[in-house]
Chains A and B, each alone.
Chain A
């Protein structure tokens, strides 16, 4: 089936996210605007305006009432999804690169950028109970990343662990109640940045995307790498499909590197891997630049990809996708 192409951004996409029901798709880009779309027809429902810098990230509460966003203007903002009104704002000394609600939507984590004079952090705040809940501005705890800055982070099942992916290819695990450090592991090539970290539906394992051209599935409890997906291009994003056992990854050579390689092919395709067998199953073309972000529909009926080219492509899976089975 032909994808629906969403043309609402003038700059590269940074993160796209479905809401819990999958009827809405939120897109963040460097053009300072967050858009929300009906995922089934690509109609734009609205925009969230207020940030004064590139938007890096967003997340939506389970009941789709609240959306939280993080941007290069050093703020994290909470929005009323329906009205588009900004409800709350947190200020940080540096850009906010990743945000996520925990399982019961009582807390939000924010990954903040490392800049001269400021260490990178993962800051956890309480979701405000009412509009002028100024006490919610004070973080519950702040994790300061020492070895290497965190680039991505997320909550495990039951908000038990807080997992971070780092700029040096390592992953760390913290007690999500207190923020206490538990352990770190060098799972990717040293120095290769982890660019994405997305969880399975039950949040018992997650998959990383890394510039070392691999994606890895890691169990949150044992903290062992359980699967490795080998590609031939630096990865920016990876996601796990419900229904079928697939892992979807995207990336591609960055524009500034394309001319330095023998082949001018940028490898801007979305790739599907069998999650268990680690074998590549297929590729989907379409973007004119690297794929920065992929989100899979929570009901497993399709996926969307956002590119450096400024487009979001929304794909519905064909019937044969659901029928696919290895003959063993």
Chain B
């Protein structure tokens, strides 16, 4: 019975997390699309995270 209870609790938690993540993804897509439009309207390129390249080490 305990095992059944834990596994159902885990399932609930996992479902809650999945919901939060898909909600966030929807929210971010909306924002990104809106901001892309605003930026295009004023001719400013999109901001993005720079790639994590190997940093040049000068000795």
Contact = CB atoms under 8 A, between A and B. Distances in A.
Given A40-B55, A158-B42, A276-B24, A243 B49 contact: yes
A158 B48 CA distance: 14
B24 to A, nearest CB: 4
A204 B24 CA distance: 14
A22 B49 CA distance: 11
B52 A299 contact: yes
A228 to B, nearest CB: 13
Interface residues of B, number: 24
B18 A299 contact: no
B57 A40 contact: yes
A277 B17 contact: yes
B35 A202 contact: yes
Interface string A30-60: 0000000000110000000000000000000
A21 B50 contact: yes
A130 interface: no
Given A202-B35, A204-B35, A226-B27, A299 B50 contact: yes
B50 A276 contact: no
B38 interface: yes
B32 interface: yes
Interface string A204-228: 1100000000000001010000100
Contacts of B34: 221
B49 A219 contact: no
Main SS at interface, chain B: helix
A327 B34 CA distance: 31
Interface residues of A, number: 30
A10 interface: no
Please report whether the interface of chain A is mostly helix, strand, loop or mixed according to DSSP: loop
B17 A326 contact: yes
A145 interface: no
Contact of A276 (B21, B46, B49, B57): B21
Contacts of B24: 245, 276
Contact of A204 (B31, B44, B51): B31
Given A157-B35, A226-B27, A201 B17 contact: no
Contact of B14 (A160, A204, A205, A328): A328
Contact of B52 (A157, A160, A277, A301): A301
A203 B34 CA distance: 13
Given A23-B55, A276-B24, A328-B21, A201 B47 contact: yes
Interface in B17-59: 17-18, 20-21, 24, 27, 31-32, 34-35, 38-39, 42, 44, 46-52, 55, 57
7 contacts: A40-B55, A158-B38, A201-B47, A221-B31, A226-B27, A299-B50, A301-B52
Interface of B: 14, 17-18, 20-21, 24, 27, 31-32, 34-35, 38-39, 42, 44, 46-52, 55, 57
Given A21-B50, A277-B20, A328-B14, 19 more contacts: A22-B50, A40-B55, A157-B38, A157-B39, A158-B35, A158-B38, A158-B42, A201-B49, A202-B47, A204-B31, A204-B35, A226-B27, A242-B49, A243-B49, A243-B52, A245-B24, A299-B49, A299-B51, A328-B21
Considering the complex of A and B, which 8 residue pairs feature the smallest CB-CB distances, nearest first? A242-B49, A299-B52, A276-B24, A202-B47, A301-B52, A204-B31, A328-B18, A328-B14
